[in-house]
């Protein structure tokens, strides 16, 4: 029963979470490429977006954990 509740709480956010993780990987590639080519502006923008994605993932995880605990 507890497993079902956790799964149900996570389901609505799972697709969004997957998209955010994919975008984070893309940004890490951009940052890596920027470091090799000296594109510091691109790296700074990508780092800023990556921080926003991490914050969004933290919010999703805390909401899912909160729902699972109720």
Instruction: Convert the pLDDT of each residue in 1-53 to its tens digit.
Output: 344 444 555 567 888 999 999 999 999 998 888 888 887 788 889 999 999 99
Task: Give me the residue label for tokens 């997957």.
Answer: 18
Instruction: Give 56: exposed, middle or buried? Use CB within 10 Å, 0-12, 13-18, 19+.
Output: middle
Number of domains in the chain: 1
Model pLDDT, residue 35 = 80
Beta carbons within 10 angstroms of residue 46's beta carbon: 21
Give which of 20, 15, 29 is closest to 54, Cα–Cα: 20
Which domain does 52 fall in, by range?
A: 2-68
The answer to whether 31 and 47 are in contact (CB under 8 A) is yes
Model pLDDT, residue 1 = 36
What pLDDT band is residue 54 in, cutting at 50, 70 and 90? Answer: very high
């Amino acid at each position: 029963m507890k497993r079902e509740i956790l799964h149900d709480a996570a389901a609505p956010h799972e697709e969004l979470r997957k998209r955010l993780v994919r975008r984070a990987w893309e940004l890490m590639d951009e940052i890596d490429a920027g470091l090799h080519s000296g594109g510091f502006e691109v790296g700074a923008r990508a780092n800023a977006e990556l921080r926003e994605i991490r914050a969004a993932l933290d919010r999703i995880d805390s909401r899912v954990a909160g729902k699972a605990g109720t």
